[in-house]
């Protein structure tokens, strides 16, 4: 079983601060934060084998420590239902990334089973120079970029903080029984916020967390995509300051 310390040490040894999606999800699952399992494929054949093991439909995403926004460069393919589609998607992803970011290191392609649709929300954490970890909650997916309907609190969060964060966004009615749609488990989202807060407090080496989207359901929630960024090592910061 891979633990948090070994994941972070492994990333440090490679002189990276940006964790891959697979590493990010492993780290978060260790903290009790549910995330869709992803596995790395380094060939079409491996991608097909993993897809069959997970069960169709699946999603493929570029796995690279140099690429943060995978969709922007054609690095994501969703809803793949056959081995033929997976094979084609693998080739198209690798080709698109090499064309648009030729210097990027490509580890392969991550494969994950498509999660059942839910209400998309986002939970994030960033470090403020003065206040430390700051938690964010809002509507997820592309809505967070378009509407910017989010709330913030300084960590550590209490139960009341988590409750208020969720209820103060303008889109809160979408989480309830809005026009007959299935309401989500609000108390579960509150617990997720508290877990992310606790994780940020106990791991000061983590600079940023981005869980977007999280699919929220009546009976739980799961992070479909995840990104974790570490602080630069103290030695690297000292080097930058010396060079100025």
**pLDDT top residue among 153 and 30:** 153
pLDDT at 153 over 90: yes
| φ/ψ (deg, to 5) at 189 | -65, -40
Instruction: Give, to the nearest 10 degrees, the angle between helix 159-167 and helix 186-202.
Output: 120
Which of these ranges, 12-16, 96-100, 152-156, 196-200, has the smallest mean pLDDT? 12-16
Taking only the tens place, the pLDDT of each residue in 66-77 is 888 898 899 999
Average pLDDT, the chain: 91
Residue 157 and residue 159: Cα distance in Å, rounded?
A: 7
pLDDT of residue 48: 98
Where along the chain do the CATH 3.30.470.20 domains lie? 1-34+116-244
Where along the chain do the CATH 3.30.1490.20 domains lie? 37-113
Pair of tokens at residue 113: 């089973």
Residue 40 and residue 62: Cα distance in Å, rounded?
A: 9
Taking only the tens place, the pLDDT of each residue in 172-195 is 999 997 777 789 999 999 999 999
pLDDT at 240 over 50: no
Question: Class for domain 1-34+116-244, per CATH?
Answer: alpha beta
pLDDT at 238 over 50: no
pLDDT of residue 207: 96
Taking only the tens place, the pLDDT of each residue in 22-37 is 999 999 998 899 999 9
pLDDT of residue 17: 93
- Do 140 and 120 form a contact (C-beta atoms < 8 A)? yes
How many CB atoms are located within 10 Å of the residue 102 CB? 7
Residue 211 and residue 112: Cα distance in Å, rounded?
A: 16
User: What is the CATH number assigned to the segment(s) 37-113?
Assistant: 3.30.1490.20
Q: What is the pTM of this model?
A: 0.89
- Do 125 and 231 form a contact (C-beta atoms < 8 A)? no
Taking only the tens place, the pLDDT of each residue in 3-13 is 888 999 999 99
Can you tell me the mean pLDDT for 65-90? 94
Burial (CB count within 10 angstroms: exposed 0-12, middle 13-18, buried 19+), residue 61: buried
pLDDT of residue 30: 87
Can you tell me the mean pLDDT for 123-146? 89
Residue 7, CA distances (Å) to 14, 20, 98, 120 in order: 11, 11, 27, 28
């Amino acid at each position: 079983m891979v633990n948090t310390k070994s994941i972070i040490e492994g990333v440090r040894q490679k002189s990276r601060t940006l964790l891959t999606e697979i590493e990010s999800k492993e780290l978060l699952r260790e903290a009790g934060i549910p995330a869709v399992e992803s596995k790395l494929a380094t060939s079409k054949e491996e991608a097909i084998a993993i897809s069959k093991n997970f069960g169709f439909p699946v999603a493929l995403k570029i796995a690279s420590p140099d690429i943060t926004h995978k969709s922007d460069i054609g690095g994501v393919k969703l809803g793949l239902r056959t081995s033929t589609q997976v094979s084609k998607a693998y080739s198209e992803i690798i080709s698109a990334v090499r064309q648009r970011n030729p210097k990027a290191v490509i580890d392969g392609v991550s494969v994950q089973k498509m999660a059942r649709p839910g209400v998309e929300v986002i939970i994030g954490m960033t470090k403020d120079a003065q206040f430390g970890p700051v938690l964010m909650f809002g509507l997820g997916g592309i809505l967070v970029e378009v509407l910017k309907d989010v709330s913030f609190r300084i960590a550590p969060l209490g139960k009341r903080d988590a409750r208020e964060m969720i209820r103060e966004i303008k889109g809160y009615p979408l989480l309830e029984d809005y026009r007959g749609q299935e309401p989500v488990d609000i108390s579960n989202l509150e617990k997720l916020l508290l877990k992310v807060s606790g994780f940020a407090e106990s791991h000061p080496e983590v600079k940023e967390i981005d869980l977007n989207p999280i699919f929220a359901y009546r009976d739980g929630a799961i992070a479909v995509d995840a990104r974790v960024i570490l602080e630069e090592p103290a030695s690297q910061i000292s080097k930058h300051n010396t060079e100025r």
